[in-house]
């Protein structure tokens, strides 16, 4: 149930955790864009 827990105001916000989430979201976005590019490349060419 880690993903569905409520926001705890007593838990400190860590800058490293925010940076890690930003880099993770960027990596997932680039991966999805790469997959879409390859699918489009296969069907058009």
Quick: pLDDT tens for 17-41: 889 999 999 999 999 999 999 999 9
Distance CA 34, CA 38 (A): 6
Question: pTM of whole model > 0.75?
Answer: no
Give the H or E element holding residue 35: helix 15-44
pLDDT, position 31: 98
More confident residue, 36 or 3: 36
What is the number of structural domains in the chain?
A: 1
Q: Is 19 inside any structural domain?
A: yes
Tell me the residue range of the domain where 40 lies: 15-44
User: Cα–Cα distances in Å, from 7 out to 13, 15, 26, 38?
Assistant: 11, 16, 23, 38
Q: Is 40 inside any structural domain?
A: yes
More confident residue, 6 or 27: 27
Q: Is 5 inside any structural domain?
A: no
* Confidence category of residue 16, pLDDT binned at 50, 70, 90: confident
Q: Is 32 inside any structural domain?
A: yes
Nearest to 26 by CA among 34, 15, 14: 34
């Amino acid at each position: 149930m880690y993903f569905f827990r409520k926001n705890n105001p007593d838990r400190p916000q860590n800058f490293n955790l925010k940076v890690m989430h930003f880099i993770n979201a960027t990596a997932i976005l680039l991966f999805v864009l790469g997959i879409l590019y390859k699918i489009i490349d296969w069907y058009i060419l």
